[in-house]
Every structure is written in structure tokens, then in C-alpha cells.
């Protein structure tokens, strides 16, 4: 059986099932024959996701039972109850973004992961696949074609999200045993239809004519289409067998086609009918880093976290692309969609679903 397709007949649980990755993973698990999926999230699943799953089951395109559970990752009993009658847990839930109180990051990303581990042990779950993040290895320097072996977890972190994700990942990997097999799998710059974070924020700024290229606009980035990442997560689950090289390890998943970040973003911007950002003046990297420090200082003084900060500037200007040979070798992973296919599908979805509700008037773009 091909890697990533061993889920047939499995009883699965997905934490963070209302997000971009979690929601698509629920769908793909059923598409590949999962017997049941417990979809666990702090907020109820949106009607669109629930109806897509229900329609697929009703039409006979997939079979299986879905249980939608509204639960809190920080509450051990709620997590434990959801872990009953489960073979594999896909732990996707996390607190993302820079605007939450520090204790909440620890409660969700670290303690929440501990709760998943304990619930799995109590109910004799066989496998946990955790969604981690390459940012747990970021130091602010360029990453040019490096593997996981070249990227140790640092002593200090660029943001609290990365620090608490690293703590959770360490605990998850340390929990690996013959009775509970674990693995951490991370996407880089995930994108796709139903995205509520990455593209909407940038497109909103572009539509307001406020977005400018940071730096020279030639920095290279690895992207990961959501279907490729979900496939990578399932490859990770399939790889975990007695004596497997992947047990207790960390892997990065991408489309395996690094792209010039600002250039591909510009394709999406122009497709929405917005102004080509390369027709505008660029903002020098050094200037933006200085402004990032000033913004952080102002935020500290007024007690608020502002969007412009040194971390965000660096993420928009440094090279961030990876060699995924380890995932290919140990997980049997290879993308099921090319970047061109994934980006085109994403742009089309945004044109049909995001743009009409964005408040912007689409211009004739020819795309």
C-alpha cells in the first residue's frame, strides 16, 4: 500500500478540526477509508465543513462515522473522553499568532499536548502524529536548503508560539514507546482553500493599497499545499512501525518546489484584480527591522502587541526553504499536488469565495 493510504478501517481523532489543516484532514481521512473520526475543537465546526462531510457520506463517496466534539484542550477530562475508542490521534490544535497572553500559549501548546499524551496512554491509543512548526528551529537567519538534521531546537526563541510548540513537541517525542508511537510533522507556509490566516491578511492589505515588498523581493520560500500536508501527516502515521526510523522524530513537509515568496504572492494579488506590488516602491530590509524594533517598544509601552515586529519583518525577507529528503526517505512522502496546481486551486477558491465578501471591487485582471 502506498504511504499515506493506510488509514482504511482506522478510528482517528483530529484536534483542531475547525482550522485549515484540521478540517481538510477530517475530509481526507474519510476519503481514504477511515472507519470513524472524532473531530475535536474549542469552537464548533463551521457549517461548510460539516455539510461537505455529511454530503460525501450521504452520496456514498466516503463511508464512516464523524463525531463533532466541542472541547477544551486545556481540560484533561475533556481531552481524555475524546480519546476513547481511537487508534491514531492527529494533534493539530495550537494557539497561533502573537496577540494572546503568554500563559495561554503554555496552556494550549504545551499543557494541551501533555493532556493529549495522557489521554492516549489511558485509552491505549496506538499512535500520535503531532503537527509541529519549523519556527521551533528559527533563529532569524536565512535557511537555504537545510534538513531537519541541520536545524536543532535553539536555546532561545523568536516568539512565544515557537517556544511553547517546541516544549509540546519535545514532550510528544519523548513519549514515544512500543505502546504509544509518536512523531512530529511540520508544514512550512501552509496554504489552500478555506485559509483564514496567511493569504487573507496579505490580500486584505494588498486590496487596501498598503502592501509593499519588504527587501528586494527575491527571498525564496518553501510552501506547502494543505492537501500535501495532510498527506504528509498520514504518511507519518503509516511510517510508525516497530523499529521504524521515524519513531520519535521531527520531519518537515513542503511542496518540494521552493518559490520566490513575493513573486508568487503577487500572482495571487494580481489575480484578485489588485495592483501589482512590484510596480510600487520597495521597503528596505534594514529600515523595516528598525521600524520593527520601534513598533515593539511602542507596544511594550502601551501594553499591546502590534502587527509590525522584528520577527514578522524577518519572515518576510529571509530565505526559508528546506530539503525534505528525510521525509521522502523515512515517511515515503512525495507531494500529491505540484505547487502550481495547489496555488492555482487556492487562487480560484479565493476569487470565488473570499473576494466577493472582502469589500473590494475586482478589476479586470485577465487571470
pLDDT in tens, 194-225: 999 999 999 999 999 999 999 999 999 999 99
pTM of the model: 0.95
Contact between 34 and 61 under an 8 Å Cβ cutoff? The reply is no
Report d(CA 273, CA 362) in Å as an integer: 5
Q: Does domain 11-191+224-256+322-337 have CATH number 3.30.300.30?
A: no
pLDDT digit string, tens, across residues 256-269: 999 999 999 999 99
> From residue 49, how far is each of 86, 164, 192, 193 by CA, in Å?
22, 29, 14, 12
Report d(CA 10, CA 86) in Å as an integer: 8
* Domain layout of the chain by residue ranges: 11-191+224-256+322-337
Digitized pLDDT (tens) for each residue of the chain, 367 residues in all: 789 899 999 999 999 999 999 999 999 999 999 999 999 999 998 899 999 998 888 888 888 899 999 999 999 999 999 999 999 999 999 999 878 999 999 999 999 999 999 999 999 999 999 999 999 999 999 999 999 999 999 999 999 999 999 999 999 999 999 999 999 999 999 999 999 999 999 999 999 999 999 999 999 999 999 999 999 999 999 999 999 999 999 999 999 999 999 999 999 999 999 999 999 999 999 999 999 999 999 999 998 888 899 999 999 999 999 999 999 999 999 999 999 999 999 999 999 999 988 888 655 444 4
SS3 246: coil
Phi then psi for residue 37, to 5 deg, are -135, 125
Report d(CA 17, CA 82) in Å as an integer: 13
Beta-sheet pairing, 65-70 with 36-41: parallel
Contact between 208 and 277 under an 8 Å Cβ cutoff? The reply is no
Q: Which of 354, 367, 365, 360 minimizes the C-alpha distance to 198?
A: 354
Amino acid at each position: 500500500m502506498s504511504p499515506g493510504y493506510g488509514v482504511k478501517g482506522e478510528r482517528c481523532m483530529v484536534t483542531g478540526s475547525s482550522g485549515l489543516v484540521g478540517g481538510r484532514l477530517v475530509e481526507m481521512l474519510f476519503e481514504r477509508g477511515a472507519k470513524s473520526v472524532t473531530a475535536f475543537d474549542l469552537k464548533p465546526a463551521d457549517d461548510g465543513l460539516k455539510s461537505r462531510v455529511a454530503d460525501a457520506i450521504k452520496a456514498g463517496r466516503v463511508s464512516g462515522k464523524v463525531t463533532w466534539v466541542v472541547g477544551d484542550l486545556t481540560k484533561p477530562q475533556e481531552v481524555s473522553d475524546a480519546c476513547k475508542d481511537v487508534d491514531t490521534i492527529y494533534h493539530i490544535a495550537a494557539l497561533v499568532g502573537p496577540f494572546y497572553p503568554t500563559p495561554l500559549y503554555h496552556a494550549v501548546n504545551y499543557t494541551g499536548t501533555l493532556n493529549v499524551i495522557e489521554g492516549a496512554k489511558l485509552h491505549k491509543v496506538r499512535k500520535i502524529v503531532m503537527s509541529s512548526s519549523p519556527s521551533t528551529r528559527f533563529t532569524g537567519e536565512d535557511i537555504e536548503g537545510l534538513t531537519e538534521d541541520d536545524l536543532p531546537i535553539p536555546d532561545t526563541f523568536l516568539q512565544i508560539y515557537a517556544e511553547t510548540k517546541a516544549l509540546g513537541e519535545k514532550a510528544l517525542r519523548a513519549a514515544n514507546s512500543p505502546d504509544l508511537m509518536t512523531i512530529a510533522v511540520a508544514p512550512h507556509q501552509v496554504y489552500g482553500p478555506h485559509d483564514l490566516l496567511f493569504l487573507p491578511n496579505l490580500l486584505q492589505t494588498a486590496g487596501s493599497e498598503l502592501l509593499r515588498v519588504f527587501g528586494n523581493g527575491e527571498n525564496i520560500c518553501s510552501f506547502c499545499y494543505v492537501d500535501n500536508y495532510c498527506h504528509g501527516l498520514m504518511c507519518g502515521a503509516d511510517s510508525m512501525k516497530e523499529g521504524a526510523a521515524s519513531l520519535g522524530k521531527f520531519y518537515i513537509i513542503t511542496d518540494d518546489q521552493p518559490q520566490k515568496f513575493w513573486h508568487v504572492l503577487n500572482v495571487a494579488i494580481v489575480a484578485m484584480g489588485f495592483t501589482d506590488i512590484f510596480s510600487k516602491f520597495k521597503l528596505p530590509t534594514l529600515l523595516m527591522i528598525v521600524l520593527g524594533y520601534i513598533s515593539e517598544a511602542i507596544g511594550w509601552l502601551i501594553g499591546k502587541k502590534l502587527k509590525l515586529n522584528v520577527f514578522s519583518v524577518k519572515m518576510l525577507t529571509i530565505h526559508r526553504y528546506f530539503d525534505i529528503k528525510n521525509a521522502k526517505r523515512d515517511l515515503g512522502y512525495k507531494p500529491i499536488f505540484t505547487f502550481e496546481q495547489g496555488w492555482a486551486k487556492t487562487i480560484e477558491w479565493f476569487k470565488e469565495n473570499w473576494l466577493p465578501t472582502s469589500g473590494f471591487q475586482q478589476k479586470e485582471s485577465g487571470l
